[in-house]
Structure formats: structure tokens, C-alpha cells
Structure 1
Amino acid sequence: MVTTRQQELQNQIIEKAWVDEDFKKELIANPKAAIEKAFDLDIPADINVEVLEETSNHFYLVLPQNPSTRKIIRVIDARWY
């Protein structure tokens, strides 16, 4: 389950990618570095970030891990406010 803070961050990332083509290119090529730079986050080295861009004929459904075991949620929560 996605937390409110995580969803807010995801929404901000998506919105930025929609209006900033350079950010979108970097996000696709090197998502972790692009997010860290744009949103002043330090994502732990053992966390991998992948970006998939949907098209008109491809839909991606993410099946999330149990929230109690998700390290990235703790990182976002710690840095958000």
C-alpha cells in the first residue's frame, strides 16, 4: 500500500516529468540520481528505482510489497517534512 507521502512524491515526480523534458530523460536513464537531485533525497544504496513509461497500448500494474517491510517508505517519511 502506498502511503500518502509516497503518493505525493510520486505525483510530484510525474508532474515534473510531464513539464520538464530534460528531467524526464534523466528520470528514465538514471531514476535514482534524478529523483535525489530534483527532490533533495538520499535514497539508500540498496534501494533500486526503475521507471517504466506507459504508452497507449501498455499498462503497468505495480504489486507493492507489504508496507511494514518497505525501507523506501521510511526514507520518504524521514525526509518529507
Structure 2
Amino acid sequence: MSTEQMLKEQIIQKAWEDESFKKSLLADPKSALKEAFDVDIPDEIEVIAVEETPSRYYLVIPQPPAEEKEAQVMAEMW
């Protein structure tokens, strides 16, 4: 499992267990991640957090393989 995937799982677990963190994550993801995980995300990176519901499911399409290097740089920040 990649570092990025492990961090995503930790974020989701914390959001499930900590309603205050979840609200912060949904309102201001960068600040919530900085406070909870001490992660600094550069200004040019946008982070959007959304919450699924029983009637709404989000399908995230990953970057094409050619952009993997950029994704790896992002993952290393975590």
C-alpha cells in the first residue's frame, strides 16, 4: 500500500471517528490536514473534500500515468 493510500485511510478513519475534524475537513481541507496531520500543502495544490450520502456517490478519476511523477511529488509531501 502506498504512503498516499495509507494517509487517505487515516484521514477517512479520523473523519468517521471525529465529527469536529470531519466538519473542518469539509470546510477547509488544507487547514484541517495541517492541524491533524501536520501536512503542508502548497498553495498551487487544491484539495477538495466531499462527503458521500446514501444517494450520492463520487467517482474519482486518477491522473493519467504521464502525470504520475507530479502525483508522486504530492504523495511525498504526506
TM range (shorter): 0.7 to 0.9
Report the AA paired with residue 5 of structure 2. Answer: Q
- On the 8 A contact 1:36/1:42 being kept in 2, the answer is yes
Superposition TM-score, scaled by structure 1 size: 0.82
Residue 20 of structure 1 and its aligned partner are, at CA, apart by 0.6
Map Cα deviations across residues 7-65 of structure 1 (whole Å, 9 max, x no partner): 11100000000001110010000011101221111111100000110000111100011
Q: 1:75 is matched with which residue? A: 74
Distance of 2:36 and 2:72 partners within structure 1: 18
Q: 1:61 is matched with which residue? A: 59
Superposition TM-score, scaled by structure 2 size: 0.84
Q: 1:38 is matched with which residue? A: 36
SS of the equivalent of 2:51 reads coil
Q: 1:21 is matched with which residue? A: 19
Over the residues paired in the alignment, what is the CA RMSD in angstroms? Answer: 1.8
| Structure 1: stretches of 5+ with no match in the other structure | none
| Structure 2: stretches of 5+ with no match in the other structure | none
Distance of 1:34 and 1:14 partners within structure 2: 12
Distance of 1:68 and 1:41 partners within structure 2: 25
Task: Among all aligned residue pairs of Structure 1 and Structure 2, give the percentage whose two residues are the same amino acid.
Answer: 47
After superposing on structure 2, the runs of 4+ consecutive aligned residues of structure 1 that deviate more than 6 Å are none
